[in-house]
């Protein structure tokens, strides 16, 4: 399991939604990269760097939606909107940098934001609880999205791997990070 930041160095200071989003964005990016590494270590075939970024993008979309669902009851509508907006902007910047590195110059942020919106609409139809995280069906949908990014060789096994191993682990790690880093003032 990847190590994630779970607390601030100076706990007594209040953090803005943008500061909290920046810390959670770094955690999400780290978790998504670790999923790709784990998949390769399990001998799932990723043929190109672009394919690896595609997988990371799917994981990021899922984890952003997870954050939004987790924060829903803990923040005001304005705080939640500001947090998610800052989070998506930070992650869009990181994704664009990665896409430029592997695919060349281009404007990738708008496509990423569009995908986040599509995936959030998709995942919103599935159950979620703070204690359990994403429902089995929601995790299966993530598995299907990751499967679309993979080659034909492993496509049959990807959803099972994502549902059974990666989704529960990344959700647990992200929950630990959210619980320690995201505290909204009343």
Contact in structure between 86 and 102 (CB atoms under 8 Å): no
Q: How many domains does the chain have?
A: 1
63: exposed, middle or buried (Cβ count in 10 Å: 0-12, 13-18, 19+): buried
Q: What is the model's pLDDT at position 181?
A: 85
Degrees to nearest 5, angle at CA 33 with 27 and 35: 105
Q: H or E element: which one contains 133?
A: strand 133-134
Establish if 4 belongs to a structural domain: no
- Report the pLDDT value the prediction gives residue 139, as an integer from 0 to 100: 96
**pLDDT above 90 covers what percent of the chain?**
69
Can you give the pLDDT at residue 1?
64
User: Using one digit for the tens of pLDDT, what is the confidence trace for 137-158?
Assistant: 999 999 999 998 887 777 788 9
110 close to 92: Cβ distance less than 8 angstroms: no
Residues 169 and 105: their CA atoms lie apart, in Å, by 34
Range of the domain at 24: 17-179
Residue, of 183 and 26, whose pLDDT is higher: 26
CA–CA dist 59, 56 (Å, integer): 5
Rounded to two decimals, the pTM is 0.93
What average pLDDT score do residues 24-32 get?
96
For 21, 59, 114, the CA distances from 99, given in Å and listed in that order, are 22, 15, 16
185 inside domain: no
Between 16 and 164, the more confident residue is: 164
Q: Per residue in 106-146, pLDDT tens?
A: 889 999 999 999 999 999 999 999 888 999 999 999 999 99
Q: Is residue 90 part of a domain?
A: yes
Sort 183 into a burial class: Cβ within 10 Å, 0-12 / 13-18 / 19+.
middle
**Model pLDDT, residue 8:** 67
């Amino acid at each position: 399991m990847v190590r994630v930041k779970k607390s601030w160095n100076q706990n007594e200071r209040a953090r803005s939604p943008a500061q909290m989003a920046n810390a959670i964005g770094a955690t999400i990016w780290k978790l998504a990269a670790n999923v790709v590494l784990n998949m390769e270590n399990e001998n799932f075939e990723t043929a190109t760097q672009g394919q690896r970024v595609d997988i990371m993008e799917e994981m990021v979309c899922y984890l952003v939606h997870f954050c939004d669902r987790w924060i829903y009851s803990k923040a005001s509508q304005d705080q939640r909107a500001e947090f998610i907006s800052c989070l998506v902007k930070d992650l869009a910047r990181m994704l664009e940098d990665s896409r430029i590195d592997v695919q060349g110059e281009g404007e990738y942020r708008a496509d990423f934001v569009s995908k986040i919106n599509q995936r959030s609409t998709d995942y919103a139809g599935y159950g979620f609880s703070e204690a359990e995280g994403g429902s089995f069906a929601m995790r299966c949908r993530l598995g299907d999205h990751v499967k679309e990014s993979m080659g034909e060789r492993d496509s049959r096994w990807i959803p099972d791997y994502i549902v059974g191993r990666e989704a529960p682990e990344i959700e647990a790690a992200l929950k630990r990070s959210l619980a320690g880093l995201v505290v909204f003032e009343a």
